[in-house]
Structure formats: C-alpha cells, structure tokens
C-alpha cells in the first residue's frame, strides 16, 4: 500500500511542480513585458498562481488515482498500457497548451482560453492566415520537444516504479484507502470548502494585469472557458442588422453617438454637486428593493434609515435593477454594462477586462481606488473583474480575523462598515481637501439567505436582515458625518439587485426590478427627487457627467439628468428581457418567443426597441 500511496502523492505534486515552473518560463519568454518587475514579483506570481495549479493537478491526478485503486486487484498488462497512454496524452496536451499559449499571448493579450479554438474550428484558414509557416514549424518543434521532456519525466518519476507493484494481500483495505485519497482530490479541485468554487479570478491579486496573467494557469483557463464558451454573435438575432443598428441608435446617449461630444470635457447643466472632484463612495446594498422603503411606496418600518436619508439627498424614484444576480448587478453598476439573460460576463475574465469602468475613468483624473467586501472576493471571478476594472486594493474576508467571519458569507455588515470607518478615521488625521480624491466601493452581504444576523427588530427573518443592514448603514453615516471628509464626499446608495422581498415576486413582472438609488453626502447640493426612468447601468454615465468626465466609451449607459438622452429601464432574466418607459412596460420571453407583459398607453411600442438593444448587446459581447 505504501508504494501506491507514494505514487499517488508524487503524481499530484509532479503536476503541481510542472505548472509552477511554467510561470517563470512564461515571464522569461516575455521578459520585455516584465522588465520592470523585481524578484519578489516573480515569486509572488508563482505563489498566487498555486490555487489553479492545485486544482488542475487534482483533476489530472483523479484518473491515475482510480487506476491505482484497480491495481490493488489486478496488475494486468492492459492496466500498465492505459497508464502509459494517459501520461503520454497528458504530456502532449500540456505541451500543446503551453506552447500555443506562449505563441498567442503576444497577439491576444490574454492567456489561452476557448476563443482561439472557436476561431480555429470555425475557420482554420483565417485563423492561421497571419502566422508564417516558419512560426508554425518552430511551434511544432517546441511542442514535440516539451512533450518528450514531460513524458520522460513521467516515465522516470511515476511509470518506472509502477511495474514493480504486486497485488496486495489486504486488497480491500488498500483499494479503500486509495479510493478515499483520490476522493480527497475534490478539495483542491473545488478550492476548499468556501461558497466559491475554483475559478481563474482566484489568482488575480495585483493591480498590474500582466502579473495576474502570468499567475494564470493556461490549461485551467482553457478548461474553464471551454466549459462556458458560447457563440454570442449568433444569439438573440431578432432583427436584420441594419434595422437593429437604426433602432439602437435612438437608444444611446448623445455622448456615445457624437464623437465630438465624446471627447469634450464639460460640466453638466443640471449639477447635483457642490464640486466636480468629490470623494466618491458607493454602498452596494445586497438585495434591497423599492418595496422596502416607505418613500417609494413600500414598507415604512424596514429601511427606516434609507427613508430618512432620502430627504437629505437626491432620490431616483424610477430606477430598475439590471438583473437578478450579484455578479451581473456589479458589472452593471461599476462598468455601466447591461446584464445578459443567460450569461455573466464576469465569468469571462478575457472579456470583462475589456469593459470600461468607473474606477478606470476616475483613476485617469487622479482618484485612488479601493473595494470593500466582507465575503470571498473570488466568487464568480469577482476579484479578476475588480482588478482589471481599476481597483488598487480589495478588502475581503481574508483581511478579517477568523473570529469575525461569523456569517455564511464572511463577516457581518457592521464589521465591514467599521473597517471602512476605521480607514476614514485614520485618513482624517492628516486629511486635507487638496488631497487626491478617493473612490471607494463597499458591498454588503448580510441581507442574503439565510438571513441570520446579530440583530432582532422585526419578526420576519428576511425583513429583519434588511433592517439590520439598514441600521448598519445609518450608524455608519452618523459616524461619517463627524469626519472632515464628509463635506467633500458623494455617497451613492444602490442595490445589486432585488432579492428575498417581496418573497413571491415573479421574474416576469416589473416589480421584480424596482430598486432605489440615492445620492447623499456633504458634496450633494440640495435634496431632490429624480423621476427619470433608468437602470443600474445608467449610473456610470450619470456620475461621470456630473464630474465633467467624458463617458463616450460607456455605450449602453445614459445620463439620467440629460434631457437629450433617451430614458428607459432595461433589464434581463433567464431567458427574457424587459424595457420600461412611462408609456409602455414590456417584458418579452425569449425562450417562448412571446410577450409576457405589455402595459401602458402605447402597448407593444418597446418590443422592437428592446430586441434591438439586446441584439446589439450581444454583438458587443461577441466582439470583446
């Protein structure tokens, strides 16, 4: 049994070592791109890339582990041949992936995923058109050499000793132990016991995207993207291209439509703020909805602090969530990019890193950026998205003591708010209005299933959880008002999506997407109510316009205070979309191919508009 257990362990760690050594080889090949890195960066890349290496090694060790289990019952020659064939296949496969990845990175600017495969199998001639015959031959020779090297390594370390294995006397015990050890590979494969399963975003640790790319395991990245890859360009083809283009042109902001406007820096006519360079703080409220606020026609005893604060700031009374999940809502809020019905762009790091972002635009004009989340920032590739969006620092559950991670989702909201408040207090000691402005985002999580919070005011667990987060927010605002930064700060309160309440709300109803958005803080000029119809992804254009920052690259985002911009709410849910204006609320069921809701004085008006909008969204997605 000892020999078999050792062989299994050696198999796993041999794969890990191979993946580990590929990282400095990649950086050496692209030494010009990493010329400004120091030795610590190289070790950091190797260290932070380990989670994907551990995971993929687990996948690749599973079959050898099962073969070792079988070997406890028979040592027939066919078993040895299967094992040899497996490691030969792995040597060839890993060699091809590594060499192709190195060859394509200079062209694509991202680690190997399923995108090149899609292009190759759809049109091999076009895919190879820009590659010289000598480059192809050199690549093939490199693959052959590396595959041979890997197979020799497998043969020496793993296969040679396998020939000496005999059928043990206690075969039941031996096979049971080996089966248990093979089953334990599930732990590194999944990435531990947290809510988040392993994904490429786990290794995105730096604001330097090149270092994140170097830390990425290309074989894992290829596997992950291949399992999720879709032909976006052929989805949601409702209209002829020319008709879709024509209708879509009526739905975009003038700052997107006009190149001259796009490049012009000017302050808005309708100014909400006392300064065009305030500190900006987003508080993203997990699952909140308009139905929790008395000021928006909902319950009056739940979000009592939001209701009170709404009279101190600017309340947008007809805002709609863009989707139904956090990963989609975050991209809508932070990048001004609409959610898709059956897809989340955050799960495609190669695409999400091409999105415009509020953080990126603010960094261009001197803002410092930081993100606060009390849970696992690796969930649904969130870390990679945040890093590529421009956040220099990310606070997550790992920054809190284990004793404070009392919630299923990490730390409770009051501890997260306290972390931010401590940062602000420390900053206040040396604060000057002339300091570089800051852009911070705090994402709450406690108002989420299972609704267990250290607070009891309402009997209903769901409503009590919302009341708890609202109370945390109120306490934070009252403490923040005592600090010198308050007078120069804009706070944007906006949910990620509606969830949990109303408890029985249907997806194909407008009520499912009604959420509040509130601007408060010392930088807000005066309280107001804004009745304009819009969605979360309109926040980007609205904020940047208030700051006098061009937002032309935010194709789908509209300035809610610009009377020249079209105003409507757009949202998606599997597999449907909605487009709402004052005269028509329409929801279309894409899978059924029929209208699910059509209300207002102009029924049916929004159907072709919504179809063109979704079609152009997928055109944009396919091109990223």
The answer to whether residues 445 and 310 belong to one domain is yes
Q: If you average pLDDT over residues 219-237, what whole number do you get?
A: 80
Report if residue 427 sits inside a domain. Answer: no
Whether 294 and 300 have beta carbons less than 8 Å apart is answered as yes
Report if residue 96 sits inside a domain. Answer: yes
Model pTM score: 0.80
More confident residue, 208 or 367: 367
The answer to whether residues 525 and 602 belong to one domain is no
Strand order in the sheet with 438-443: 393-395, 368-373, 438-443, 279-285, 489-495, 514-520, 314-320, 528-535
Q: Where does residue 593 fall: left (phi above 0), alpha (psi -120 to 50 degrees), or beta otherwise?
A: left
- How many Cβ atoms from other residues are within 10 Å of residue 579's Cβ? 26
For position 538, what pLDDT does the model report?
97
Give the SS3 label for residue 266. coil
pLDDT tens-place string over residues 464-497:
999 999 999 999 999 999 999 999 999 999 999 9
Q: Which of 533, 552, 567 is the endpoint of a domain?
A: 567
- Indicate if the alpha-carbon torsion angle 36, 41, 42, 46 is positive or negative: negative
pLDDT band at 212 (very low <50, low <70, confident <90, very high): confident
The answer to whether residues 508 and 587 belong to one domain is no
The answer to whether residues 177 and 285 belong to one domain is no
Q: Which of 530, 547, 567 is the endpoint of a domain?
A: 567
Q: Is the pLDDT of residue 41 over 90?
A: yes
Cα–Cα distance measured from residue 267 to residue 271, given in angstroms and rounded to the nearest whole number: 8
The answer to whether residues 410 and 449 belong to one domain is yes
Cα–Cα distance measured from residue 184 to residue 190, given in angstroms and rounded to the nearest whole number: 10
Give DSSP secondary structure letters for 368-399.
EEEEEESS-TTGGGHHHHHHHHT-SEEE-GGG
Number of structural domains the chain divides into? 3
Q: If you average pLDDT over residues 556-561, what whole number do you get?
A: 96
In this prediction, what percent of the chain has a pLDDT beyond 70?
93
The answer to whether residues 509 and 405 belong to one domain is yes
Q: Is the pLDDT of residue 364 over 80?
A: yes
Whether 20 and 46 have beta carbons less than 8 Å apart is answered as yes
Q: Which domain holds residue 388?
A: 270-415+432-470+483-567
CA nearest 87: which of 38, 144, 143, 155? 155
Strand order in the sheet with 594-599: 569-573, 576-581, 584-589, 594-599
What are the CA-CA distances from residue 433 to residues 57, 310, 325, 336, 371 (Å)? 52, 26, 37, 29, 22
Give the SS3 label for residue 283. strand
Cα–Cα distance measured from residue 519 to residue 206, given in angstroms and rounded to the nearest whole number: 31
């Amino acid at each position: 049994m000892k020999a078999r257990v050792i062989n299994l362990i050696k198999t796993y760690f041999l794969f890990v070592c191979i993946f580990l050594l590929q990282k400095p080889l990649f950086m050496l090949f692209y030494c010009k791109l990493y010329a400004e890195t120091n030795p610590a960066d190289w070790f950091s890349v190797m260290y932070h890339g380990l989670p994907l290496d551990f995971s993929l090694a687990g996948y690749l060790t599973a079959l050898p582990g099962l073969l070792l289990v079988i070997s406890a019952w028979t040592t027939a020659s066919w078993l040895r041949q299967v094992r040899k064939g497996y490691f030969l296949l792995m040597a060839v496969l890993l060699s091809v992936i590594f060499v192709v990845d190195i060859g394509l990175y200079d062209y694509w600017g991202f680690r190997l995923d399923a995108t090149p495969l899609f292009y190759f199998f759809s049109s091999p001639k076009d895919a190879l058109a820009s590659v010289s015959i000598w480059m192809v031959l050199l690549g093939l020779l490199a693959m052959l050499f590396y595959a041979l090297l890997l197979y020799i390594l497998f043969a020496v370390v793993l296969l040679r000793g396998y020939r000496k294995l005999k059928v043990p006397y206690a075969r039941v015990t031996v096979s049971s132990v080996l089966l248990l050890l093979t089953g334990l590979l599930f732990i590194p494969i999944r990435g531990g016991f947290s809510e988040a399963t392993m994904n490429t975003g786990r290794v995105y640790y730096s604001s330097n995207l090149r270092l994140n790319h170097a830390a990425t395991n290309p074989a894992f990245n290829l596997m992950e993207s291949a399992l999720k890859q879709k032909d976006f360009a052929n989805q949601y083809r409702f209209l002829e291209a020319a008709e879709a283009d024509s209708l879509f042109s009526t739905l975009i902001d003038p700052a997107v439509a006009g190149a001259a406007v796009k490049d012009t820096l000017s302050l808005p006519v309708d100014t909400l703020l006392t300064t065009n360079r305030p500190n900006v703080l987003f508080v993203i409220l997990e699952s909140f909805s308009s139905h929790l606020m008395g000021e928006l026609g909902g319950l009056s005893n739940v979000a009592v602090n939001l209701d009170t604060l709404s009279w101190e700031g600017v309340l947008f009374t007809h805002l709609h969530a863009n989707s139904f999940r956090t990963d989609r809502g975050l991209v809508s809020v932070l990048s001004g990019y609409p959610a898709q019905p059956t897809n989340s762009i955050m799960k495609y790091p190669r695409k999400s890193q091409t999105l415009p972002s509020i953080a990126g635009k603010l960094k261009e004009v001197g803002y410092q950026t930081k993100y606060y989340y009390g849970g696992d920032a690796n969930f649904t590739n969130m870390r990679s998205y945040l890093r590529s969006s421009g956040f220099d620092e990310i606070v997550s559950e790992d920054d809190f003591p284990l004793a404070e991670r009392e919630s299923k989702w990490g730390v409770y909201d009051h501890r997260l708010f306290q972390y931010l408040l401590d940062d602000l207090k420390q900053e206040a000691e040396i604060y000057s209005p002339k300091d570089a402005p800051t852009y911070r985002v705090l994402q709450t999580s406690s108002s989420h299933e299972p609704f267990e919070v250290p607070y009891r005011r309402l009997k209903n667990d769901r409503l009590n959880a919302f009341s708890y987060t609202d109370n945390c927010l109120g306490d934070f605002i009252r403490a923040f008002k005592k600090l010198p930064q308050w007078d120069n700060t804009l706070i944007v309160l906006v949910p990620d999506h509606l969830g949990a309440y109303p408890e029985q709300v249907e997806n194909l109803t407008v009520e499912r997407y009604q959420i509040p958005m509130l601007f408060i803080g010392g930088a807000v000029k005066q309280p107001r109510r804004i009745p304009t119809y819009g969605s979360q992804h309109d926040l980007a254009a609205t904020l940047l316009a208030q700051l006098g920052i061009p937002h032309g690259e935010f194709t789908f985002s509209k300035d809610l205070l610009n009377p020249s911009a079209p105003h409507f709410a757009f949202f998606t849910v599997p597999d449907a979309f909605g487009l709402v204006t004052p005269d028509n609320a329409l929801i279309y069921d894409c899978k059924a191919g029929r209208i699910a809701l059509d209300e207002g004085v102009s029924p049916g008006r929004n159907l072709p508009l919504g179809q063109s909008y979704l079609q152009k969204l997928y055109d944009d997605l396919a091109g990223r």
